[in-house]
């Protein structure tokens, strides 16, 4: 411990604050990540099945979805966050703090993740879809037992990428008072010139990302045959 304090002297008084901020970041990542995961899967699947030649081809739904995704993706996250404050108030009752950050984080993550899911599912051999149609499976059964089941390694890979970029977004959520590691680094590392605190933050984030990648790679290894 004392060695740690020699390297990062400010840690002694800010250790508790750092833990609190880490907790906020993890909470933001976990809650908005989980919701984004399911929403992204849903929209990614919707994109793939409604596109031309898809098993539930529907040009109207596809076009609307595609446009919506492109529009949201083109808005810088910081601006998106501010724009979504009223929406957040309507949905979760507040536009600030950790709770107030969920809506913006999800809105910033889902379009990106949906596109990634779409591209993973598009890589699946068309022949598998055709084979399962020839066996008399319905579109819903094909979505779950072919598209999603056969794509687990690819889905895991893009989920890892998305979580890493989500951690990047949570750093910005500090701007609406959500706290978190990004906010910690700005307050102490930048504004108070505690350079050691900037480095500590970076190391903590690296550890989180490494854990995500370790888990992801483990799943990919287990599911690739």
Partner 1 sequence: MIRLEHVDKIFNTAAGSVHAVRDVSLQIEDGEIYGIIGFSGAGKSTLVRCINLLERPSSGKVFIDDVELTALDEKKLREVRRKIGMIFQHFNLLRSRTVYQNIEFPLRKSKLSKAEKDAKISSLLELVGLSEKRNAYPSQLSGGQKQRVAIARALANDPKVLLCDEATSALDPQTTQSILKLLARVNKEMGITIVLITHEMAVVKDICDRVAVMEEGAVVESGNTVDVFSRPGEEITRDFIETASNIRKIHDLIADENELTKINAGDQMLLLTYSGSNAGEPLISYLSRAYGINANIIYGNIDFLKGKPLGKLVVTLSGKAEQIRQAREYIDSLGVEVEVIKE
Chain contacts with partner 1 (rule: CB under 8 A): 125, 127-128, 130-138, 141, 145-146, 149-150, 152, 223, 225
State the minimum distance, in angstroms, from the CB of residue 136 to partner 1.
Answer: 4
Q: Which is nearer to partner 1, 12 or 125 (CB)?
A: 125
Directed axis angle between helix 85-92 and helix 97-122, to 10°? 100
Q: Which is nearer to partner 1, 148 or 160 (CB)?
A: 148
List Cβ neighbours of 94 (8 Å cut-off, separation of 6 or more): 88, 100
Q: Which is nearer to partner 1, 70 or 130 (CB)?
A: 130
- Per-residue tokens: 29: 């990542």
Directed axis angle between helix 59-74 and helix 11-50, to 10°? 160
Q: Which is nearer to partner 1, 17 or 150 (CB)?
A: 150
State how far the Cα of 47 lies from the Cα of 29, in Å rounded to an integer.
Answer: 25
Q: Which is nearer to partner 1, 5 or 137 (CB)?
A: 137
State the minimum distance, in angstroms, from the CB of residue 55 to partner 1.
Answer: 11
State the minimum distance, in angstroms, from the CB of residue 149 to partner 1.
Answer: 6
Q: Which is nearer to partner 1, 108 or 216 (CB)?
A: 216
**How far, CA to CA in Å, does 154 sit from each of 150, 157, 195, 209, 217?**
9, 5, 39, 18, 11
State how far the Cα of 98 lies from the Cα of 173, in Å rounded to an integer.
Answer: 8
State how far the Cα of 47 lies from the Cα of 166, in Å rounded to an integer.
Answer: 22
193: alpha, beta or left? (left if phi > 0; alpha if psi -120 to 50): left
- Per-residue tokens: 130: 């055709």
Q: Which is nearer to partner 1, 114 or 151 (CB)?
A: 151
Cα end-to-end distance, the chain, whole Å = 45
Q: Element (H or E) spanning 67, and its range? A: helix 59-74
Tokens 């970029």: give the residue: 165
């Amino acid at each position: 411990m004392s060695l740690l304090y020699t390297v990062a002297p400010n840690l002694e008084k800010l250790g508790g604050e750092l833990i609190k901020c880490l907790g906020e970041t993890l909470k933001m990542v976990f809650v908005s990540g989980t919701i984004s995961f399911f929403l992204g899967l849903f929209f990614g699947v919707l994109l793939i099945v409604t596109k031309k030649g898809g098993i539930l081809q529907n040009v109207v739904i596809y076009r609307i979805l595609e446009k919506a995704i492109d529009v949201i993706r083109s808005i810088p996250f910081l601006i998106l966050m501010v724009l979504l404050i009223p929406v957040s108030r309507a949905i979760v009752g507040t536009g600030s703090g950790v709770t107030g950050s969920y809506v913006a984080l999800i809105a910033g993550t889902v379009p990106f993740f949906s596109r990634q899911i779409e591209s993973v599912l598009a890589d699946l051999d068309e022949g598998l879809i055709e084979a399962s149609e020839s066996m008399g499976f319905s579109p819903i059964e094909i979505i779950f037992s072919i598209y999603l089941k056969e794509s687990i390694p690819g889905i895991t890979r893009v989920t890892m990428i998305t979580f890493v970029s989500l951690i990047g977004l949570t750093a910005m959520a500090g701007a609406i008072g959500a706290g978190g590691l990004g906010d910690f680094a700005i307050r102490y590392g930048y504004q108070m010139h505690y350079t050691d605190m900037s480095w500590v933050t970076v190391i903590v984030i690296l550890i989180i990302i490494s854990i995500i990648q370790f888990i992801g790679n483990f799943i990919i290894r287990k599911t690739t045959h």
